[in-house]
């Protein structure tokens, strides 16, 4: 029992150290989170802020586009299925207007009447990565790290 407690504490300590190192390496990046489901939006915002990001939220693609016009973001995390302007349209427009801006698409998967799935289409339209909902926090952090690390490496050359 005591050994199990120490193992749990060790794992928690290692995660805390990794998170602190990651927070230091991301230098407080700005993320625009575009999600129409308020509960999911709140959970993701809180999670990302816990990792040290500055998170701005929008409820649909139109609101997200307006925010991109007036603010600097290092990363956009967008849902695919939303009212007003949906995610695929947002990704195409973002890559056309702000080609340097990295976009990660999120969706439960799905497809167009048995055709290509939304997440693959999002990548075809310019998303650099995709996340399947429900979102696993470790997978989300790993994906964001990968995208931001590749951005930092590109800026170095």
DSSP string, 16-70: HHHHHHHHHHHTS-EEEEE-S-HHHHHHHHHHHHHTT-EEEEESSHHHHHHHHHH
How far apart are alpha carbons 140 and 106 in whole angstroms? 10
pLDDT at 134: 87
Q: Encode pLDDT of 128-146 as tens digits.
A: 999 988 889 899 999 998 9
Q: Encode pLDDT of 18-60 as tens digits.
A: 666 555 555 579 999 999 999 999 999 999 998 899 999 999 9
Chain Cα centroid distance, residue 81: 15
pLDDT at 115: 46
Q: Is the pLDDT of residue 9 over 70?
A: no
How far apart are alpha carbons 58 and 78 in whole angstroms? 9
Q: Encode pLDDT of 78-131 as tens digits.
A: 999 998 888 999 999 999 999 999 999 998 866 555 545 888 899 999 999 999
pLDDT at 4: 65
* CATH class, 25-147 region: alpha beta
């Amino acid at each position: 029992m005591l050994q199990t407690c120490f193992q749990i504490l060790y794992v928690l300590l290692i995660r805390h150290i990794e998170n602190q190192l990651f927070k230091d390496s991301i230098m407080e990046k700005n993320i625009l989170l575009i999600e129409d489901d308020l509960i999911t939006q709140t959970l993701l915002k809180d999670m990302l802020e816990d990792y040290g990001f500055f998170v701005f939220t929008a409820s649909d693609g139109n609101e997200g586009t307006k925010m991109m016009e007036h603010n600097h973001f290092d990363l956009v995390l967008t849902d695919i299925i939303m009212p007003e302007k949906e995610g695929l349209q947002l990704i195409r427009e973002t890559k056309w207007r702000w080609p340097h801006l990295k976009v990660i698409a999120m969706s439960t998967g799905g497809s167009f009447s048995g055709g290509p799935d939304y997440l693959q289409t999002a990548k075809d339209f310019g998303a650099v990565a995709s996340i399947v909902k429900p979102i696993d926090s470790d997978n989300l952090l790993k994906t964001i790290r990968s995208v931001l690390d590749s951005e930092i490496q590109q800026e170095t050359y």
